[in-house]
Amino acid sequence: MPDAPRDAAGPATLAPGTRIEVRTGFDRSWVTGFEVHEATPQGYRVRRRSDDQVLPVAIDPADVRKERKNSMWWI
């Protein structure tokens, strides 16, 4: 069962409100604290959760992934 609906173009899209991680342009690491505002043909419009601001540019889908849950491996 897929986590996200697929559009006619093929790749899975993340629904608005989905918590995500975004890949940085500096060192290509993943950072948390964002959610999907909307999916557009240019990429994802992303909202920063700390101040509820929508970033001014669309983020390429390759630089967005669903937020991973922290595992408690020591338990």
Q: What integer pLDDT is reported at residue 16 of this predicted model?
A: 97
Number of domains in the chain: 1
Give the C-alpha separation, 69 to 21, whole Å.
Answer: 11
> Residue 55: which CATH number?
2.30.30
Answer yes or no: is 72 within a domain.
no
Give the C-alpha separation, 70 to 72, whole Å.
Answer: 7
Answer yes or no: is 41 within a domain.
yes
Alpha carbon 52 to its chain's center: 15
State the pTM of this model. 0.76
Domain of 57, in residue numbers: 19-66
Answer yes or no: is 10 within a domain.
no
pLDDT bucket at 12, cuts 50 / 70 / 90: confident
Answer yes or no: is 38 within a domain.
yes
pLDDT bucket at 73, cuts 50 / 70 / 90: low
Q: What integer pLDDT is reported at residue 3 of this predicted model?
A: 47
Answer yes or no: is 8 within a domain.
no
Torsion 60-28-56-38 (CA) sign = positive
